[in-house]
Amino acid sequence: MSTTELELTVEVAAPPETIFRAMSDWERQSEWIFGTTVSVVSGDGRSVGSEIDARTFGVSDRMRITRWDPPHAVEVLHLGRVVRGTGVFAVRGSRFVWSERLDVPFFYPLVKPVFVLLLQRSLQRFARFAEEYR
């Protein structure tokens, strides 16, 4: 395993409170993250200690919320076998920022370009999702 860091941002034409609510609406993340469904598996999904499970193309990514700071940030600890590390979903003004520090398997360099492309496209979808969020 090796460690990689990743940070992607997207401008969103919505107030910070709306961006935060949209990014932390776990069950609706499938509307903007390619190939992913998310469910709350422990707690309320809106407080420290809650756990969520994101399944992306069948791979489970279980996360524990370690910081809940509306409308600024949610920090998570990835608990899975495949995905381990930390993540931050943050709102900085009119920008949504997705940061990860992950322990990745040996084959990650081979799939990184596709992974990053899918995340970039997902963030573009997120901007539209958040701008229309109700």
> pLDDT per residue over 74-103, tens digit each?
999 999 888 899 999 999 999 999 999 999
- Is 110:2 a contact under the CB 8 Å cutoff? no
In the numeric block, which tokens belong to residue 97? 């920022």
pLDDT confidence of residue 64: 98
Q: Please provide the distance, in angstroms rounded to a whole number, between the alpha carbons at the two ends of the chain.
A: 41
User: CA separation (Å) from 121 to 40, 61, 96, 100?
Assistant: 24, 20, 13, 17
pLDDT exceeds 90 at position 109:
no
pTM of the model: 0.93
pLDDT top residue among 80 and 133: 133
Please compute, for residue 118, the number of CA atoms within 13 A of its CA located in the half-sphere on the CB side.
Answer: 11
pLDDT confidence of residue 89: 98
Tell me the pLDDT tens digit for each residue of 24-78.
Answer: 999 999 999 999 999 999 999 999 999 999 998 888 999 999 999 999 999 999 9
